[in-house]
A and B are shown apart, each in its own frame.
Chain A
Amino acid sequence: MDISMIYYLVPTLVMFCCGIYGFITRKNMIAMLISIELMLNAVDINFVIFNRYLFPGQLEGMMFTLFAIAIAAAETALAIAIIINLYRAHKNIDVSDLTKMKF
């Protein structure tokens, strides 16, 4: 257990940045959703890491992670429902084509 915290934090940071990058560059909405999940998971792992290293013997971080996973599941269900409806309406889930909601 003498692995330093930084070895855990760097991979999560990479994961998080991949998520951001994917969210900005991918035009497919499913891919964007996956990117969001990536960011969320990075954050979840961070919770666990900080709980383990900074407050050992407590469970708040763990609980929070479980909570976030549950909510992420619900959110994903919602997002997929929206995407399916969009697809039915437009036959297209390319985000750069869906720009009706503007001035």
Chain B
Amino acid sequence: MAITLPLLILVIPLFMFLLLGLAGNKMSHRMAGILGCLGMGTTMVLAYIVSFTYFFSGNPDFVDAEAHTRLQWVVFNVDWLSFTDNLVIRLGFLLDPIAALLLVVITTISFMVHLYSMGYMRDHHGVWEKGFQRFYAFLSLFSFSMLGLVVATNIFQMYIFWELVGASSFLLIGFYYRKPSAVLAAKKAFIVTRFADLGFLIGILALSYYAGTFNFMDLTSSQLVSGAYQVNIETAENIKNIFATSAAPTFMGASVLTWALVLIFMGGMGKSAMMPLHIWLPDAMEGPTPVSALIHAATMVVAGVYLVARLFPLYLMEEASLEIITIVGALTAFYAAMVACTQVDIKRVLAFSTISQIAFMMVSLGVARPEFHHGIGYMASMFHLFTHAMFKALLFLCAGALIHAIGSNDYTDMHGLRKYMPVTHITFLIGCLAIAGIIPFAGFFSKDEILTATMGHSTFWYIWMSAVAGLTAFYMFRLYYLIFWWKEHKVREGHHAPHDQPWTMTLPLVILAAISCVAGFVPMGNLVTWNGHEMFPEGVSFFTNLKALDWTVACVSLAVAIVAIIIATVMYRKENPLPAKMKRALPALWDWCYHRFYWDELYMFITKRIIFNGICKPIAWFDRHIIDGTMDGFAIVTNKLSFAIRGFQSGNAQTYVWWYLIGVLALGGITALCLL
């Protein structure tokens, strides 16, 4: 493959960012929007060409046809900073199954969001949102950073783009910078993820210090020798030896490798909103809804999952770290699902649902082992990442349409909208069915693979995750019924009756809904596996995924989902006192869920009471009194001294001559004494 196409995928969004950011105010709103859409559309087409070439061309660079194995392919890799011979930071473009998959996901969702924002970012009278051009510039910046992240050839490049997506997320959450809550949310997101990235950076340094390389292909090669990616066997053996010997030193009972991996995972926890670093994601909903769909549902928040998947062969060397990932993921999934059942703001429900679904992916990676079904967990995780991006972006864009029509985020202002907004209704229903895991929608297949993988690892987590899957179906349909059914819609005073949106907003909904219907049939087992081996070497058809299902798991999860949906239907389809009764029956549980288990309050307590009082105030005192005091002391002494001696400068020339004469005589006298 020529270098041009992959390079253009990165260059076009960057160029659009510069163009819209610098010249945006010179052009009309519509022009800026159309330019942004065109740029992203071109990028999407290019990404499709690159990915499809990678997956389906059969080029021997990309696939070893005899071994039924996909290969990693470095399109280009240039030295960027070379400190020493060993310490070189490169920027490059790595094409392998997960990168190709993510290219498709990111560009698709990004293009949909670009298109959708053309309609969303103007009000009912057609007045464009203030800062519309800036919005598109930031969207382009985000797309560029995210694409750079997924194609990184080394962990340092990934870190650079990792911070860039964090920065663009900050800018977009705080898009309405006149709104104090948006500013606070942006700050919170940035600080929490930065804190997590500190761990990530330490992890990178520890890992690369021992391994002697930043390069993903070298780092992961040791496990892949027996697998399939074509790797340099010498390097692989080398790194394996390094980890066997020099990583052996332990720190607080765990090897350096374990520490490095757990710290790197901490970075992933921050970006992917795993407990206890999840607190920023619900607040991030302060940003415009298309941004939530793009960044906080489909792409950036799965960067943590992507990171673990990228380093998966390393994680395999330390099973303990995988266990940690499983536990964190499972707890987060359950927690977020519980909270999602009680929230009133529809975007917050979706935010917690996102946290829960990302946790599913994490668990799936955590339980993935090569011995079980060729590491099905890895495949399932990436599969779920793909399908989840589609249906969660769909749900968020539907939520955006609702908010746009109603002018409020709370379902209490909605109710009974199915007649007013039929397109939104149908597409939202498809999204709900997909996330609930109803056959044949996308979520069913990917969630089923995850549950299969979990069962292969431990029955306990299997039951746990199945329960969470049931909760997922419940809260999604609770939301669905409360928005579209419950009771007749009451048009608020001074408002028009809500109606469906312009085509720029409808088209992305319809496309994403269509994708959510069929995405489950993508034979992911042949495209994305942990070591590149195809799972179905005999070839695939449209029904491969159906045939490969583990029907016991599938039936159980289907039954759980249907039961949950029935419960939701009974409780929320028509206005009835049942939900209120439930709430009164378990007031404590409801309270804890509604207040998100008081995590924010806990953080406030820790930061305000303990850190500010215990650490920051003494440091501030030290700074003000000791450090500033020393400096002030110098100034004061100099000042005093100067005042004391300034009388010498009397302005009387003859006095100076006296002093001069005395000085000369003294010097002369001393010289004479010394000579004699």
* Interface contact B657-A100, CB-CB below 8 Å: no
> Could you tell me the distance in whole angstroms from the C-beta of A36 to the nearest C-beta in chain B?
11
Our pick among A20, A23, A99, A103 for the contact of B652 (Cβ within 8 Å) is: A99
> Could you tell me the distance in whole angstroms from the C-beta of B646 to the nearest C-beta in chain A?
4
* Interface contact A103-B657, CB-CB below 8 Å: no
Interface residues of B in 642-676 (CB under 8 A from A): 646-647, 649-654, 657-658, 661
In the complex, which range does the number of interface residues on chain A fall in?
Answer: 10 to 19
Our pick among B650, B658, B661 for the contact of A99 (Cβ within 8 Å) is: B650
> Could you tell me the distance in whole angstroms from the C-beta of B642 to the nearest C-beta in chain A?
9
Q: How far is the CA of A65 from the CA of B481 in the complex (A)?
A: 113
Chain A residues lying within 8 Å of B651, measured Cβ to Cβ, are 98-102
Which A residue's beta carbon lies closest to that of B646? A103
Q: How far is the CA of A96 from the CA of B652 in the complex (A)?
A: 6
* Interface contact B661-A20, CB-CB below 8 Å: yes
* Interface contact A102-B649, CB-CB below 8 Å: yes
Chain A residues lying within 8 Å of B653, measured Cβ to Cβ, are 95, 98
Interface 1/0 per residue, A78-100 and B, CB below 8 Å: 00000000000000000110111
Interface 1/0 per residue, B482-503 and A, CB below 8 Å: 0000000000000000000000
Q: How far is the CA of A100 from the CA of B658 in the complex (A)?
A: 19
* Interface contact A24-B654, CB-CB below 8 Å: yes
Q: How far is the CA of A99 from the CA of B653 in the complex (A)?
A: 8
Which A residue's beta carbon lies closest to that of B653? A95
Q: How far is the CA of A23 from the CA of B661 in the complex (A)?
A: 11
> Could you tell me the distance in whole angstroms from the C-beta of B257 to the nearest C-beta in chain A?
70
Chain A residues lying within 8 Å of B652, measured Cβ to Cβ, are 95-96, 99, 102
Chain A residues lying within 8 Å of B649, measured Cβ to Cβ, are 102-103
Q: How far is the CA of A58 from the CA of B650 in the complex (A)?
A: 47
Interface residues of A in 45-75 (CB under 8 A from B): none
> Could you tell me the distance in whole angstroms from the C-beta of B350 to the nearest C-beta in chain A?
73
* Interface contact A95-B654, CB-CB below 8 Å: yes
Q: How far is the CA of A20 from the CA of B664 in the complex (A)?
A: 13
Chain B residues lying within 8 Å of A102, measured Cβ to Cβ, are 649-652
Which A residue's beta carbon lies closest to that of B643? A103
> Could you tell me the distance in whole angstroms from the C-beta of B639 to the nearest C-beta in chain A?
13
In the complex, which range does the number of interface residues on chain B fall in?
Answer: 10 to 19
Interface residues of B in 383-414 (CB under 8 A from A): none
Chain A residues lying within 8 Å of B661, measured Cβ to Cβ, are 20, 24
Q: How far is the CA of A96 from the CA of B654 in the complex (A)?
A: 8
> Could you tell me the distance in whole angstroms from the C-beta of B129 to the nearest C-beta in chain A?
63
Q: How far is the CA of A23 from the CA of B651 in the complex (A)?
A: 16
Which B residue's beta carbon lies closest to that of A96? B652
> Could you tell me the distance in whole angstroms from the C-beta of B319 to the nearest C-beta in chain A?
79
Q: How far is the CA of A98 from the CA of B653 in the complex (A)?
A: 9
Chain B residues lying within 8 Å of A95, measured Cβ to Cβ, are 652-654
Interface residues of A in 1-30 (CB under 8 A from B): 20, 23-24, 27
Chain B residues lying within 8 Å of A99, measured Cβ to Cβ, are 650-652
Chain B residues lying within 8 Å of A103, measured Cβ to Cβ, are 646-647, 649
Task: Identify which of B646, B654, B661 gathers the most chain A CB atoms within 10 Å of its CB.
Answer: B654
Chain A residues lying within 8 Å of B646, measured Cβ to Cβ, are 103
Q: How far is the CA of A101 from the CA of B649 in the complex (A)?
A: 8
Chain B residues lying within 8 Å of A98, measured Cβ to Cβ, are 651, 653
Task: Identify which of B646, B650, B653, B658 gathers the most chain A CB atoms within 10 Å of its CB.
Answer: B653
Q: How far is the CA of A23 from the CA of B657 in the complex (A)?
A: 8
Which A residue's beta carbon lies closest to that of B658? A24
Q: How far is the CA of A95 from the CA of B175 in the complex (A)?
A: 72
> Could you tell me the distance in whole angstroms from the C-beta of B104 to the nearest C-beta in chain A?
78
> Could you tell me the distance in whole angstroms from the C-beta of B538 to the nearest C-beta in chain A?
99
Interface residues of B in 301-336 (CB under 8 A from A): none
Q: How far is the CA of A27 from the CA of B658 in the complex (A)?
A: 14
Chain A residues lying within 8 Å of B657, measured Cβ to Cβ, are 23-24
Q: How far is the CA of A103 from the CA of B647 in the complex (A)?
A: 8
Q: How far is the CA of A103 from the CA of B642 in the complex (A)?
A: 10
Q: How far is the CA of A103 from the CA of B652 in the complex (A)?
A: 11
Chain A residues lying within 8 Å of B650, measured Cβ to Cβ, are 99, 102
Task: Identify which of A24, A96, A98, A103 gathers the most chain B CB atoms within 10 Å of its CB.
Answer: A103
> Could you tell me the distance in whole angstroms from the C-beta of B452 to the nearest C-beta in chain A?
89
Q: How far is the CA of A98 from the CA of B655 in the complex (A)?
A: 12
> Could you tell me the distance in whole angstroms from the C-beta of B659 to the nearest C-beta in chain A?
11
Which A residue's beta carbon lies closest to that of B647? A103
> Could you tell me the distance in whole angstroms from the C-beta of B15 to the nearest C-beta in chain A?
63
> Could you tell me the distance in whole angstroms from the C-beta of A83 to the nearest C-beta in chain B?
13
Q: How far is the CA of A27 from the CA of B654 in the complex (A)?
A: 9
Chain B residues lying within 8 Å of A23, measured Cβ to Cβ, are 654, 657
Chain A residues lying within 8 Å of B654, measured Cβ to Cβ, are 23-24, 27, 95-96
Chain A residues lying within 8 Å of B647, measured Cβ to Cβ, are 103
Chain A residues lying within 8 Å of B658, measured Cβ to Cβ, are 24
Which A residue's beta carbon lies closest to that of B654? A24
Q: How far is the CA of A4 from the CA of B121 in the complex (A)?
A: 109
Q: How far is the CA of A99 from the CA of B651 in the complex (A)?
A: 4
Q: How far is the CA of A21 from the CA of B338 in the complex (A)?
A: 102
Chain B residues lying within 8 Å of A27, measured Cβ to Cβ, are 654
Chain B residues lying within 8 Å of A24, measured Cβ to Cβ, are 654, 657-658, 661
Which A residue's beta carbon lies closest to that of B657? A24
Q: How far is the CA of A102 from the CA of B658 in the complex (A)?
A: 16
Which A residue's beta carbon lies closest to that of B645? A103
> Could you tell me the distance in whole angstroms from the C-beta of A76 to the nearest C-beta in chain B?
17
Q: How far is the CA of A95 from the CA of B655 in the complex (A)?
A: 11
Q: How far is the CA of A24 from the CA of B657 in the complex (A)?
A: 7
Which A residue's beta carbon lies closest to that of B652? A99
Q: How far is the CA of A27 from the CA of B655 in the complex (A)?
A: 12
Given contacts A23-B657, A95-B652, 4 further A-B contacts (CB under 8 A): A99-B651, A101-B651, A102-B652, A103-B646
12 contacting pairs across A/B (C-beta < 8 A): A24-B654, A27-B654, A95-B652, A95-B653, A95-B654, A96-B652, A98-B653, A99-B650, A99-B651, A102-B651, A102-B652, A103-B646
* Chain A interfacial positions (CB closer than 8 Å to B): 20, 23-24, 27, 95-96, 98-103
Closest 4 CB pairs of A and B: A102-B651, A99-B651, A103-B646, A103-B649
